Chain A
């Protein structure tokens, strides 16, 4: 009987001891998990740290701090070369107060040692050790509450007097995702678009996202202001001189070979347009491009220029012989930023004499009669809407929605007839622009315009940029033949294409 009792007692003792060991293993595993997480997770730890030197604070109750795993008690070293860092967690959903996690010790070896020649090393070599591990601190909390309280008090004192360093690795504020892209409520999108696409100079506005980040490798330096700014391609040229910056307005010159509303390429329009462009900002006491009302106006004169035979020999224009003459006259082209919450608006008018006209091109029509067509007047009014796929504004969109009109007059030389207006119709016009500008650097652009049952597609790609002043772009465009309607007598039966190289200086 005694033997049985003794065996039973021994068995129960064994079971109890085993359970004890299991519980302690569980505890140790949990400690290990936390220690590992604190050591390895560099991104997601929502923890803070605060630095101090032992000789700068009162260390009451923090002598001979007991440690776990048979390590000797710890004492803060008051030497100048020693500094300490308390890692802690602020109050959160689980804890109502600060939770101390670790204490790290940094020893500046360079400060205490000198090299062979007796001079101190210029580069500091710092050695960092965790002197009080998470387990040490938790054991203090459970077994030495006075010591823990002293450490906690020290932490609170340091937090009260200094700003703790956030150890969270992820940039939560910079990685804010939105369900949709963004659109600016000021002139930012307008300026971004014009800076990249306009043939005239626009002041570059620093993006909000770029303001926060310091300049990174590969990012271009701010372009030094140059006296001249030139933008030239095979179809147009614009130039600006610094003395024409009047403060509230800049004035620049432009010559181009195109006709904006008509579905024709430069040189195909058989006209030359030249004039001035003015960028006016209407501001209050101080100029603020992001908020000011901006008007970009071009006032130009247009003259007919017989390029019909030249077009066939130009290697960058792929069109059949032009049939439509464009009259001489006045051109007004306006773009304005938002007023009273309205969208950005654009207005273009080209108008000239409708009666007296000597055509550059006559041709024999299907009836065998000698005829000439010319367009004395074109206008277009549209609203521009901008949006970006994200806050970095890398992919930028603009959609112009509006209406446009052109009139066509016909002279029949075979019948000796007078000038008759045969076409004058207001039609919807839509243009979608897409720009790719990583880090606010112009790189690629495209546009798709649908007007008068013809699609005009344009692309440009930056080829090279050097000295931050000179850049070259390759440009190409294609105008489709009319679709979903019959071809008019003055129109080409096939699509036409054009390419160019654009040089920009000082932009």
Chain B
């Protein structure tokens, strides 16, 4: 009897063990087939519609259907009664929610998992049970009506779907319509498979660093620009160098406030040149992300005749800026400021001349009221510090900067904020506010305003 028992036991164990092993191999093989049947859309997982069901009564309804259908599994094994009771307690307390994800190309559910509240948004969340990854099996567990309710989100839910607000730079054309700094890139070419030369028309209304913000400048600079990218990048600030050539034209002001005692007028034809780029890396390879710019306006044709200013009825004094020079350095991507953007810090020096002139309709020529001053004495010098944050990706892009400067000869300081905020890199606003401090009234130019507010809507179309 003893021998028979042992033999029987051995047979049972052997047969049972062999059978289980064979079945588990079969199941594993079948699982592979099961998981391979669908068209693979793994690349779109983060773009698929996904949400959290957080309607407590609806979650109980669904949970109960899983219990009744005995559909809960953990590592593909049925769950124990004790475990189920414990998790049911969590359901009562609303600690378990349901994460749902739809397929990319149609409306069926491809992922359905019970998830503890605290696991939501974790990179690798621990689900309460094995998630169901087949909508057709889920339909059987829940029945058609409940499945369609889930699919159509006919209950309370939180949307987690990622909306694709990616900002990508196109190099085909780029229309950046900002009145203060417009840029229309209309032609591009490449000399190899990686680089790009872009040709643009640009405009420039005023210069903050010499405290002539747009609207108040009475002068608009426009011209053409070539920008070179040694490697095309999704961030257009990563250009290698840029050369701008332009000229000036008189501009009218969109709003007429209380004008200063003496206006600032254009008094000649000027040449504008700006060269900027990431040049510091050529000094040392570690000196990257430095934006160095040299910019100058030089009036090469002076409007000396009275008739150049049109027919005015009476004599009046006015001021004019003929030449300026700005050298600026900005270190980009210093650090990420609380996810608000990349901190940038820079500064520079600038010089601008001012001519005090007089228009007299009776005279043939314009009179220089400071004719005794040498050209050098007509220049005043500025030093400025510029810092802020810039964010180029995501739904909202912004460039928020503070500029603090001092005019040595003019005896005044100035500070201002510059805010450029874009929605999806398409619509935005450029706002600049400047104010003066420590003004020496005796030295302060009569053509200057004490404070400025300039702004422009922005529309950017980039392909």
Contact = CB atoms under 8 A, between A and B. Distances in A.
Given A26-B76, A343-B186, A17 B23 contact: no
Given A26-B76, A385-B173, A170 B105 contact: yes
Interface in A349-406: 383, 385, 387, 397, 399, 401
B34 interface: yes
B136 A41 contact: yes
A36 B5 contact: no
Interface residues of B, number: 58
A26 B23 contact: yes
Contacts of A179: 164, 166, 168
A37 B36 CA distance: 12
A33 B137 contact: yes
Given A17-B16, A30-B31, A94-B36, A430 B5 contact: no
A11 to B, nearest CB: 11
Contacts of A95: 32-33, 36
Nearest to B170: A180
A34 B27 contact: no
Interface centre among A19, A31, A46, A385 (most CB of B within 10 A): A385
B106 interface: yes
Given A168-B39, A172-B39, A179-B168, A13 B175 contact: no
A30 B35 CA distance: 11
A36 B34 contact: no
B177 A401 contact: yes
A142 B463 CA distance: 56
Given A45-B39, A343-B186, A23 B168 contact: no
A6 B39 CA distance: 55
B461 interface: yes
Contacts of A27: 23, 26-27, 30
Interface centre among B13, B39, B40, B134 (most CB of A within 10 A): B39
Contacts of A387: 461, 463
A23 B36 contact: no
Interface in A29-57: 30-31, 33-34, 36-38, 40-41, 43-47
Given A23-B19, A43-B108, A9 B38 contact: no
A89 B33 contact: yes
A16 B29 CA distance: 23
B254 A9 contact: no
Contacts of B252: 485
Given A23-B20, A34-B33, A95-B36, A484 B137 contact: no
A175 interface: yes
Interface string B10-21: 001101100110
A320 interface: no
A233 interface: no
Interface string B117-142: 00000000000000000111100100
A224 interface: no
A170 B107 CA distance: 11
B188 A37 contact: no
Contacts of B39: 44-46, 168, 170, 172
Contact of A19 (B20, B27, B135): B20
Contacts of B31: 30
B261 interface: no
Contact of B1 (A2, A44, A46): A2
Contacts of A33: 34, 134, 136-137
A397 B27 CA distance: 55
Contacts of A130: none
B184 interface: yes
B105 to A, nearest CB: 4
Interface centre among B8, B26, B40, B134 (most CB of A within 10 A): B26
Interface string A409-447: 000000000000000001000100000000000000000
A24 B136 contact: no
Contacts of A231: none
Contacts of B22: 142
B34 A34 contact: yes
B37 interface: yes
A385 B175 contact: yes
B256 to A, nearest CB: 8
B187 A37 contact: no
A44 B34 contact: no
Nearest to B186: A343
A205 interface: no
Nearest to B42: A93
A315 interface: no
A92 interface: yes
B2 interface: yes
A343 B173 contact: yes
A480 interface: no
Contact of A45 (B12, B23, B37, B78): B37
Given A44-B38, A44-B39, A16 B173 contact: no
A79 interface: no
Contacts of A26: 23, 27, 76
Contacts of B189: 341
A17 to B, nearest CB: 7
Given A6-B5, A46-B37, A430-B177, A401 B166 contact: no
Interface string A147-186: 0000000000000000000001110100100011111010
B16 to A, nearest CB: 4
B84 interface: no
Contacts of B2: 5
Contact of A9 (B9, B168, B463): B9
A286 to B, nearest CB: 27
Nearest to A5: B5
Contact of A170 (B106, B140, B184, B254): B106
Nearest to A484: B254
A383 B12 contact: no
Nearest to B255: A484
A180 B34 contact: no
B208 to A, nearest CB: 22
A99 interface: yes
Nearest to B105: A170
Given A383-B186, A401-B184, A37 B34 contact: yes
Nearest to B25: A142
B365 interface: no
Interface in B371-408: none
A296 interface: no
B80 to A, nearest CB: 13
B274 interface: no
A41 B105 CA distance: 13
Contacts of A453: 254
Contacts of B32: 94-95
A20 interface: yes
B27 A180 contact: no
B37 A38 contact: yes
Given A16-B13, A401-B177, A37 B30 contact: no
B172 interface: yes
Contacts of B140: 36
A46 B103 CA distance: 14
Given A9-B5, A33-B34, A16 B175 contact: no
Contacts of A430: 177
Contacts of A22: 78
Given A13-B12, A485-B254, A142 B34 contact: no
A72 to B, nearest CB: 24
Contact of A12 (B9, B35, B168, B175): B9
B236 interface: no
Closest 5 CB pairs between A and B?
A16-B16, A170-B105, A23-B23, A46-B39, A484-B254
8 contacts: A17-B16, A24-B23, A89-B37, A92-B40, A93-B40, A138-B26, A179-B168, A385-B461
